[in-house]
């Protein structure tokens, strides 16, 4: 069975990059009928927060990503880590190092001055004398000092590291006894049965260290897939400084989960020329072997396109429900079908859609000056009056086509072009140029409101 995981550290909101690896992991587990584990890596007490964990969960909920089983918290697993630390100590695979932080810093400076690589010199590796007073030791693991470590990566291929280039006896437990990252990930992944690790390739250089832990403990090494980073427009790793990286900000901006997920799945992964993927298709077609080797630059042009695509293809009932979040309640509006049909063709986001709807539904209180100047000349008022009179005479009028017909009657009778009625009427109804078809606007707001707006405009602009 394929078991994947997403293992964020709760230091902030869920960001775009994390979501993408989470999505990949999720899809791969689902495709294989496996499990997708969510593990909160909260070993750094100073930087973690409960709110951050909740923010991540909230984002998952919005996107419809469900983890399998209970959420695992590393902070609750101290005794497990302690057990393995003791085991390594007993087996002589790890040891106590009494070097102080100051000494370490000093060593590092010397090495830097000599242009050597900075690494622990192993001075306590085989120490059996009397430990210095007043220093709480850290625990270091005995890492191989020579030889080759090969990471079999499903995205990048086999990558080999020379132990002497990158390894030293790294710390697995701090002076206060708490275990460190590279130690606990390996243990957790092994114990939780995670056999396919999909994560950002910023972890690639950590992997040899984790392999050292796997081997010291005799655990099976999982299959790794290191996904290239998402870069900002400067070509650097995407960070919080780059603006909208918080997943929930996309909800606020009016993007749908589908669009965001579809956008993200295509960032660094592809399936031929296909651009649109439903969740089912993603699950069916996703395969980490098709993940790109190179980093991609984050750019929301395509997200906008996808979002409008999904808005166009969302049933109106569903749209009406989604729009409530954006301050638009029209579940009981009798013309909501007409309104939504017109709006979904032009809005790029749900937020935009809501504000467009509000513009239509609200009686204009002011008129765009330039547009008025242009439209209210000649016999514009006369035309409006004519139209108003014809509308007033109608007992029953509901459909856009009926309003359209009425407009046609006016232009035929007065021998003018469509623009002669369209422009002044548009300003009367909406206060400005541009926007939804007038017949639709009138059908949505109804006869009374239409007549009111025409009267308002005539008195304000004649």
Partner RNA sequence: GGCCCCGUCGUCUAGCGGUUAGGAUCCAUGGUUUUCAUCCAUGUUACAGGAGUUCGAUUCUCCUCGGGGUCACCA
Eight-state DSSP code of residue 229: P
For 376, the 3-state DSSP assignment is coil
Which 255-284 positions form the footprint of RNA (CB under 7 A)? Answer: 266-270, 272-273, 275
Q: Measured from the CB of residue 337, what is the shortest distance to RNA in angstroms?
A: 16
Smallest gap from Cβ 133 to RNA, in A, equals 14
Residue 322 Cβ vs RNA, minimum distance, rounded to whole Å:
19
H helix runs in 349-399, sequence order: 350-361, 369-375, 380-393
In 76-166, the DSSP E strands lie at: 94-97, 138-141, 148-153, 157-162
Does residue number 166 form part of the binding site for RNA (CB under 7 A)? yes
Choose, by CB under 7 A, the member of 203, 223, 333, 374 that binds RNA.
Answer: 203
82 touches RNA (CB under 7 A): no
- The DSSP 8-state label assigned to residue 92 in this structure reads T
- Which is nearer to RNA, 34 or 387 (by Cβ)? 387
Determine what percent of the chain falls in helix, strand and coil, rounding each to the nearest 5. Answer: 50, 10, 35
What is the arrangement of strands in the sheet containing 148-153, beginning at the earlier edge strand?
A: 157-162, 148-153, 223-227, 196-200
Site for RNA in 58-77 (CB under 7 A): 74
213 binds RNA (CB under 7 A): no
Of the candidate spans 87-95, 196-204, 247-255, 380-388, the one that interacts with RNA by CB under 7 A turns out to be: 196-204
Determine the Cα–Cα distance for residues 292 and 266; give it in Å rounded to an integer. 10
| 415-444 binders of RNA (CB under 7 A) | 418-419, 422-423, 425-426, 433-439
Assess 341 for contact with RNA (CB under 7 A): no
Q: How far is the CB of 438 from RNA (least distance, A)?
A: 3
Burial class (CB in 10 A: 0-12, 13-18, 19+), 114: exposed
Binding status of residue 295 toward RNA by CB under 7 A: yes
Q: Are the C-beta atoms of residues 432 and 367 closer than 8 Å to each other?
A: yes
Q: Check residue 43 for interaction with RNA (CB under 7 A).
A: yes
Q: How far is the CB of 332 from RNA (least distance, A)?
A: 26
138 makes contact with RNA (CB under 7 A):
yes
Regarding 374 and contact with RNA (CB under 7 A), the answer is no
Site membership for RNA, residue 336 (CB under 7 A):
no
Binding test (CB under 7 A) with RNA, winner from 33, 157, 393, 412: 157
The answer to the question of residue 134 lying near RNA (CB under 7 A) is no
- Judged by CB, which is closer to RNA: 36, or 403? 403
SS3 223: strand
Q: What is the dihedral of CA 347, 352, 354, 357, to 10 degrees?
A: -60
Q: How far is CA 372 from the centre of its chain?
A: 43
Q: Judged by CB, which is closer to RNA: 238, or 320?
A: 238
240 an active-site residue? yes
Contact 227, 197 (CB under 8 A): no
Q: Which is nearer to RNA, 329 or 358 (CB)?
A: 358
Rounded least distance, CB 413 to RNA, Å: 16
Candidates 290, 318, 409, 413: give the one binding RNA (CB under 7 A): 290
Which of the residues 101, 240, 358, 394 is marked catalytic?
240
**Cβ closer to RNA: 165 or 413?**
165
Q: Tell me which long-range contacts 454-460 makes (C-beta under 8 A, separation of at least 24).
A: 454/384, 454/387, 454/388, 454/391, 454/425, 454/428, 454/429, 455/388, 456/363, 456/364, 456/428, 457/367, 457/384, 457/424, 457/427, 457/428, 458/381, 458/384, 458/385, 458/388, 458/428, 460/367
**314-333: which residues touch RNA (CB under 7 A)?**
none
Asked if 293 is part of the footprint of RNA (rule: CB under 7 A), the reply reads yes
174 binding RNA? (CB under 7 A): yes
Contact between 146 and RNA per CB under 7 A = no
Q: For residue 418, how many C-alpha atoms fall within 13 Å in the half-sphere facing its CB?
A: 7
**What tokens appear for 423 in the block?**
């422009």
- Tell me the C-alpha to C-alpha distance, in Å, between residue 440 and each of 3, 335, 450: 52, 10, 11
- Alpha-helical (H) ranges within 114-197 are 163-166, 181-191
Q: How far is the CB of 296 from RNA (least distance, A)?
A: 4
What does the per-residue mask of binding to RNA show for 175-194, with x meaning CB under 7 A? xx-x-xxx------------
Smallest gap from Cβ 215 to RNA, in A, equals 18
Of 355, 352, 350, 357, the closest CA to residue 323 belongs to 350
Residues 342-371 that bind RNA (CB under 7 A): 345-346
Residues 6+ apart with CB under 8 A from 53: 10, 40, 42
According to CB under 7 A, which one of 146, 294, 332, 366 is a site residue for RNA? 294
Beta strands per DSSP E along 67-126: 72-73, 94-97
Q: Is 31 in the site for RNA (CB under 7 A)?
A: no
CA angle 212, 132, 173 (to 5 degrees): 30
Could you give the CA distance from residue 186 to residue 226 in angstroms, rounded to a whole number? 16
How many of the chain's residues bind RNA (CB under 7 A)?
Answer: 85
Least distance CB 94 / RNA (angstroms) = 14
Q: Which is nearer to RNA, 34 or 425 (CB)?
A: 425
Position among 93, 237, 333, 398 found at the interface with RNA (CB under 7 A):
237
Residues with catalytic function: 240
């Amino acid at each position: 069975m394929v078991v994947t995981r997403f293992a964020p550290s709760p230091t902030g909101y869920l960001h775009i990059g994390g979501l993408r690896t989470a999505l990949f992991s999720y899809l791969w587990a689902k495709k294989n009928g496996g499990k997708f584990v969510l593990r909160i890596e909260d070993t750094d007490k100073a930087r973690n927060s409960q709110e951050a964990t909740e923010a991540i969960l909230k984002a998952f909920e919005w996107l419809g990503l469900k983890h399998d089983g209970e959420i695992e918290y590393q902070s609750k697993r101290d005794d497990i880590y302690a057990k393995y630390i003791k085991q390594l100590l007993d087996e002589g695979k790890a040891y106590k190092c009494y070097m102080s932080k100051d000494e370490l810093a000093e060593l590092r400076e010397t090495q830097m001055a000599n242009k050597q690589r900075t690494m622990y010199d192993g001075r306590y590796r085989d120490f059996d004398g009397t430990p210095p007073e007043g220093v709480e030791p850290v625990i270091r693991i005995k890492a191989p000092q020579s030889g080759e470590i090969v990471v079999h990566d499903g995205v990048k291929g086999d990558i080999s590291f020379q132990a002497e280039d990158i390894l030293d006896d790294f710390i697995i437990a701090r002076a206060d006894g708490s275990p460190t990252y590279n130690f606990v990930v390996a243990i957790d992944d092994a114990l939780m049965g995670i056999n396919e690790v999909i994560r950002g390739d910023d972890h690639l250089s950590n992997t040899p260290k984790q392999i050292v832990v796997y081997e010291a403990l005799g655990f099976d090494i999982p299959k790794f897939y290191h996904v290239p980073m998402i870069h900002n427009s400067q070509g650097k790793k995407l960070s919080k400084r780059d603006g909208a990286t918080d997943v929930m900000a996309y909800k606020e901006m009016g993007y749908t989960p589908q669009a965001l997920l579809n956008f993200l799945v295509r960032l660094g992964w592809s399936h031929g020329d296909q651009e649109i993927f439903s969740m089912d298709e993603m699950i069916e077609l996703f395969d980490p072997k098709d993940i790109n080797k190179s980093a991609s630059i984050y750019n929301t042009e395509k997200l906008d396109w996808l979002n409008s695509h999904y808005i166009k293809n969302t049933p109106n009932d569903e749209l009406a429900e989604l729009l409530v979040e954006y301050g638009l309640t029209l579940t009981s509006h009798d013309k909501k079908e007409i309104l939504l049909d017109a709006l979904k063709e032009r809005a790029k986001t749900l937020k935009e859609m809501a504000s467009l709807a509000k513009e239509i539904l609200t009686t204009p209180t002011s008129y765009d000056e330039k547009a008025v100047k242009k439209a209210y000349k000649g016999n514009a008022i006369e035309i409006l009056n004519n139209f108003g009179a014809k509308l007033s005479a109608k007992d029953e009028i509901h459909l856009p086509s009926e309003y359209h017909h009425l407009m046609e009657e006016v232009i035929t009778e007065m021998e003018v072009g469509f623009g002669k009625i369209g422009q002044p009427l548009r300003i009367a109804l909406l206060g400005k140029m541009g926007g939804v078809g007038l017949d639709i606007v009138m059908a949505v707001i109804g006869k009374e409101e239409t007549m009111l707006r025409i009267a308002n405009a005539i008195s304000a602009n004649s």
